[in-house]
């Protein structure tokens, strides 16, 4: 494939560290570790889509195996290793997609392959993309090799869902969290690409693309690619913001600004007419409500925002109108609008025709615009929202039936168990039962082999059947219930039997003992097919 025929996301994929945008601190740290020869056994890059995880992994592989060790930055004068790694044909750099190779056999083949040293470079490198897709057994097979690999072996992992990776693997990696790329940086980068590709596009359009991409450089380049194709086929001259909004199905903020202005003017006809124009453009009600919230936010915080016209897809006219409106609108009314819009977003999920719900929402806002006077039908709406703001407690005095009194007692009991001292695993399970944390209770009874339990510290044996987020959930709940930070430690030591196994063993012994009693033998004589299922102690009951 010729370079000109490539999509922009591939054509302008960074090949060296200095070409990366938005990840300066991570790049600086990696370059320093290479220059000082303090290279970890395994790297882990995590972050949202399109921020450079796999790209950094490949550049890192080239830097580690670069033929010119002093340079570590092949661009104009590529060495043989960097050339082969860029084209995914280097014999010592293996890139694997964990989404298609998830099993333990795939990892065993990888480990077997790692026993042989590099052929033509300094390191043998394994790049595993979307590593969170590996199975538990595959992760366990990797553990020993990750902790003590041969000096020539390096692992580079990339993932979008780091929470799905076992903590035992995370602790063996040097982790780098890639952040979203700022809108300003994406916009500057797109301008350079547009100039090199000779795409005639306005700065407003580039700002819109950077906003829609939500911090993903790959998404931004794909959107620019789409604009360029449309420009070749249908448009003449510079692509305008209006044309770009039609291409992306993104409605002009000016509609929403004018609509809000008509609401404050009390013009119901114009307000509904503007909304119907937006709806005819194919805009979903939820997208409209989120855009509505965005304008309310600008109006409320206009004086505190810096460079608002650049960061967001606002034209100069939009910017001026928002400034004028913000000067004559009071904060109290805007806060009411914000809260009421949030409530309507929930409402559209349960209405068969969300469009009707939005129209009623706008009509109700027309009544709320005079919130300060608090007159007529607006009074009820305002009181409702003020109650939400102040989080007033609603007193219910109708707990007359016994079932209602019982429910109240349960709630009081639940409130009283906070800040107590939990002294044992059994006590912790009792708390889970009372708090209705049934899933956590199940894990504690079924999959926890206890080693140590004391105030603020729990040590348990590693058990692959435990849910991946078990430690995180347990720590959070313990802090919530005791107001104390607990340390949850996973160990390779053998712990006690799980509560479930202990209970099953006790039950089995009780059955065996009771089968030897005269009572059971007499029952068996009278009913030969009788079967003993369980034994209960009435005294305990």
Choose the weakest-confidence range: 27-41, 321-335, 440-454, 513-527: 513-527
pLDDT of residue 412: 52
Contact assessment for residue 262 and residue 270, using Cβ atoms and an 8 Å cutoff: yes
pLDDT, average across residues 305-331: 71
Helix H or strand E segment including 460? strand 457-461
Which residue ranges make up each domain of the chain? 3-177, 183-248, 253-390, 403-491
Contact assessment for residue 308 and residue 298, using Cβ atoms and an 8 Å cutoff: yes
pLDDT of residue 3: 59
Helix H or strand E segment including 339? helix 331-347
pLDDT band at 312 (very low <50, low <70, confident <90, very high): low
pLDDT of residue 126: 92
Which CATH architecture fits 403-491? Answer: 2-Layer Sandwich (3.30)
φ and ψ of 56, to 5 deg: -65, -40
Classify 148 in phi/psi space as left (phi over 0), alpha (psi -120 to 50) or beta: beta
Q: State the pTM of this model.
A: 0.57
φ and ψ of 498, to 5 deg: -65, 155
Q: Please state at what angle helix 354-368 crosses helix 378-390, rounded to 10 degrees.
A: 90
**Other beta carbons less than 10 A from residue 125's beta carbon:** 26
Beta-ladder partners of 452: 459
- CATH number, span 3-177: 3.40.50.300
Model pLDDT for residues 103-145, shown as the tens digit of each residue: 888 888 888 888 888 888 889 999 999 999 988 888 888 888 8
Q: Please state at what angle helix 217-233 crosses helix 203-212, rounded to 10 degrees.
A: 130
Model pLDDT for residues 58-113, shown as the tens digit of each residue: 999 988 888 775 554 555 556 788 888 888 888 888 888 888 877 888 888 888 88
More confident site: 341 or 352: 341
Model pLDDT for residues 471-529, shown as the tens digit of each residue: 888 888 888 888 888 888 888 788 888 888 888 888 888 878 877 887 877 777 777 77
Contact assessment for residue 434 and residue 417, using Cβ atoms and an 8 Å cutoff: yes
| Among the four given CATH numbers 1.10.8.60, 2.60.40.1120, 1.10.10.10, 1.20.1250.20, the one describing domain 183-248 | 1.10.8.60
* Cα-only R_g, the chain: 32
Q: Is the pLDDT of residue 176 over 90?
A: yes
**What span, in angstroms and rounded, lies between the C-alpha atoms of 176 and 30?**
10
Choose the weakest-confidence range: 67-71, 247-251, 293-297: 67-71
pLDDT of residue 5: 60
- Class for the domain spanning 253-390: mainly alpha
Beta-ladder partners of 175: 44
256, HSE (Cβ side, Cα atoms, 13 Å) = 23
pLDDT of residue 237: 61
pLDDT, average across residues 143-158: 89
pLDDT of residue 355: 86
Contacts of 397 (CB under 8 A, 6+ apart): none
pLDDT of residue 332: 84
**What span, in angstroms and rounded, lies between the C-alpha atoms of 107 and 145?**
11
Alpha-carbon torsion, ordered 520, 524, 529, 530, to 10 deg: -20
């Amino acid at each position: 494939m010729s370079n000109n025929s490539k999509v922009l996301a591939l054509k302008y994929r960074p090949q060296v560290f200095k070409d990366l945008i938005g990840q300066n601190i991570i790049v600086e740290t990696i370059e320093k570790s290479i220059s000082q020869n303090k290279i970890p056994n395994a790297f882990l890059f995590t972050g949202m889509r399109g921020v450079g995880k796999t790209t950094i992994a490949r550049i890192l592989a080239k830097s580690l195996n670069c033929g010119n060790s002093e340079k570590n930055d092949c661009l104009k004068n590529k060495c043989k290793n960097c050339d082969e790694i860029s084209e995914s044909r280097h014999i010592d750099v293996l890139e694997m997609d964990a989404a298609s190779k998830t099993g333990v056999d795939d990892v065993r083949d990888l480990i077997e392959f790692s026993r042989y040293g590099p052929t033509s470079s300094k390191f043998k490198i394994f790049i595993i993309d979307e590593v969170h897709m590996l199975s538990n057994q595959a992760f366990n097979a990797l553990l020993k090799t990750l902790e003590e690999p041969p000096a020539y072996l390096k692992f580079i992992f990339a993932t979008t869902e780091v929470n799905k990776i076992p903590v035992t693997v995370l602790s063996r990696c040097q982790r780098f969290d890639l952040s979203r790329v700022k809108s300003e940086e994406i916009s500057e980068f797109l301008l350079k690409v547009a100039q090199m590709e000779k795409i005639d596009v306005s700065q407003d359009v580039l700002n819109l693309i950077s906003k829609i991409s939500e911090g993903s450089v790959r998404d931004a380049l794909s959107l620019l690619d789409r604009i360029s194709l449309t420009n070749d086929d249908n448009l003449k001259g510079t692509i305008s913001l209006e044309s770009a909004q039609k291409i992306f199905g993104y409605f002009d903020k000016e509609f929403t600004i004018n609509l809000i202005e008509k609401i404050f003017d009390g013009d119901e006809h114009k307000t509904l007419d503007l909304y119907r124009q937006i709806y005819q453009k194919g805009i979903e009600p939820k997208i409209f409500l989120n855009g509505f919230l965005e304008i309310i936010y600008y109006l409320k915080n206009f004086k505190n925002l810096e460079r608002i016209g650049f960061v967001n897809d606002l034209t100069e006219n939009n910017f001026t109108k928002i400034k004028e409106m913000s000067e004559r609108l009071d904060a109290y009314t805007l806060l009411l609008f914000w809260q009421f819009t949030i409530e309507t977003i929930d409402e559209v999920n349960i209405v068969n025709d969300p469009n009707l719900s939005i129209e009623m929402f706008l009509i109700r806002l027309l009544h709320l615009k005079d919130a300060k006077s608090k007159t007529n039908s607006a009074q009820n709406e305002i009181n409702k929202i003020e109650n939400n703001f102040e989080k007033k407690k609603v007193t219910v005095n109708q707990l007359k039936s016994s079932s209602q009194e019982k429910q109240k007692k349960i709630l009081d009991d639940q409130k009283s168990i906070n800040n107590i001292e939990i002294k044992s695993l059994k006590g912790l399970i009792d708390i889970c039962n009372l708090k209705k944390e049934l899933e956590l209770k199940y894990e504690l009874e079924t999959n926890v082999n206890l080693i140590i339990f004391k105030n603020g510290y729990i040590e348990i044996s590693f058990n692959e059947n435990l849910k991946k987020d078990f430690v995180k959930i347990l720590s959070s709940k313990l802090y919530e219930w005791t107001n104390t930070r607990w340390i949850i430690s996973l160990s390779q030591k053998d712990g006690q039997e799980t509560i479930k196994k202990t209970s099953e063993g006790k039950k089995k012994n009780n059955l065996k003992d009771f089968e030897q009693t005269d009572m059971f033998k007499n029952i068996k004589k009278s009913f030969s097919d009788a079967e003993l299922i369980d034994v209960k102690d009435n005294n305990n009951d």
